[in-house]
Amino acid sequence: MAKLVGDAVVLLSGGVDSAALAAFTRPALALFVDYGQIPARAEARASRAIADRLGVPYRAVRLPLNDFGGGLLLDGVPLDDAPSPEWWPYRNQFLGTAGAAIALQHNLTKVLLGSVRGDGDRHMDGSPQFYRALTTLTSLQEGSVQVEAPALELTTVELVRKARLDSAILALTVSCHRAARPCGDCPGCWKRQQVFAELDVFQPTVTSNA
C-alpha cells in the first residue's frame, strides 16, 4: 500500500461542504463512501474529479446501508423520527466509523467530516456534541483515531471562502438528494442554490424530472 503524506482522511461526498474542507485541509486521502444513497454514482464521479483537481489521493468504498436508511436519499419516505426529509439514521456514525477503519489501514490518525454550522439544528449527527462523543469512542479503541468536523463553527459560504475554493471546483460539486442531476426541489438543491447565490457563482439550471 502506497505511503500517504499527512495524517487525515477527509470524507468527500462530492458536495460543496466536503469539497471545501478537502481544499482547506489538503488531506492525505479523500474517501468516498457509497452507502446506498440514490445519487451515489453522481457523487462518486464528482468526488473523484474534485480529488484529482486538488491533487489528493482518492479511494472509493462500498458500505451498503440500504436496509438501515430512509428519506430522500433512499426511497423518499421520511422515517417517523426524521428531523429532516433527507435524514438517514446514524449516517455520520456509520461513515465516521468506516473512515476510522480506512484511516487505520493507511496509518492515519484523523477522519474529517464536512459538517458545518447549522447542521446540528437539522440532525444530531451534525452537532458538536455528536462529534465529541464519536471521537471519544473511536479514540478509546486501537489506533486512537480522532473523528472531527473542523468547520462546525463556519457556514458553508464562510468555509468556501476560507478554503479559497475556486469556481471550477464548485462547478464539479453535486448536492441533490434525489437524482444524478439536480432536481431543484430538495434540501440539497435549495442549499446549493443559496450558497451559489451568496458567492455570486453561476449555477446551471438544468434539472432532472425526479
User: CA geometry: angle at 176 spanning 97 and 61, to 5°?
Assistant: 35
Domain, as residue range, for 122: 8-164
Reply yes or no on whether the pLDDT at 206 is more than 60. Answer: no
How large a percentage of the chain has pLDDT more than 70? Answer: 91
Query: The whole model's pTM is what?
Result: 0.89
99 within a domain of the structure (yes/no): yes
pLDDT at 209 (0 to 100):
45
Element (H, E) at 58: strand 58-62
Q: Is residue 138 part of a domain?
A: yes
Task: Please check whether residue 23 lies inside any domain of the structure.
Answer: yes
Q: Is there a domain that residue 34 lies in?
A: yes
110-112 and 8-11: which strand pairing? parallel
Distance CA 209, CA 10 (A): 32
Tell whether the model's pLDDT for residue 210 goes beyond 50: no
**Which grid coordinates belong to 123?**
440532525
d(CA 196, CA 198): 5
Let me know if residue 209 belongs to a domain: no
Mean local confidence (pLDDT), 59-75: 86
For the stretch 176-194, pLDDT in tens is 988 888 888 888 999 999 9
Q: What average pLDDT score do residues 125-133 get?
A: 95
Helix (H, G, I), strand (E, B) or coil at 178: coil
CATH of the domain at 73: 3.40.50.620
| CA dist list (Å): 87 to 12, 81, 125, 202 | 18, 9, 10, 28
Q: Is residue 174 predicted with pLDDT exceeding 70?
A: yes
In a domain, 42, yes or no: yes
- Asked if the model's pLDDT at residue 128 lies above 70, the reply is yes
pLDDT at residue 43 greater than cutoff 50: yes
The tally of domains found in the chain comes to 1
Alpha-carbon separation of residue 83 from 13, 70, 89, 123 (angstroms): 21, 12, 10, 6
